[in-house]
Amino acid sequence: MKIRKNDKVKILTGKDAGKEGKVLAILTDTNKVVVSGIGVVKRHVKPGAVSKEGGIIKIEKPIAVSNVMLVCEKCNKPTRVAFSEVGDKKFRVCKKCGEVFAK
């Protein structure tokens, strides 16, 4: 997967289209990502062993990785990712400006 944890991404489709956020988690088995502040839904929770108080909580639901695009730190634009090899190491590279993404 070309997107990793702590990457800054832009949302392309859905109710949060155009917003940017940081990747909190990656679900590789379902090809989804959890982005901070994106895809927030409300859940009604009963009081129980996990939470002493019931109520309405807000959680971030995963969205498809195809609906997000990586934002380059240097040019600050959404970009596709290329891979380049230096010796035996493989790095992600911005297709627009050529900047290497930090590991």
d(CA 39, CA 65): 13
pLDDT by residue, tens only, the chain of 103 residues: 899 999 999 999 999 999 999 999 999 999 999 999 999 999 998 898 877 888 998 999 999 999 999 999 899 999 999 999 888 889 999 988 888 887 6
pTM (2 decimals)? 0.83
d(CA 65, CA 87): 29
Neighbours of 2 (CB within 10 A): 13
> How many angstroms from the chain centroid is the CA of residue 4?
7
**Considering Cα of 31, then 36, then 40, then 45, what sign does the dihedral take?**
positive
- Contact status, residue 70 vs residue 3, Cβ threshold 8 Å: yes
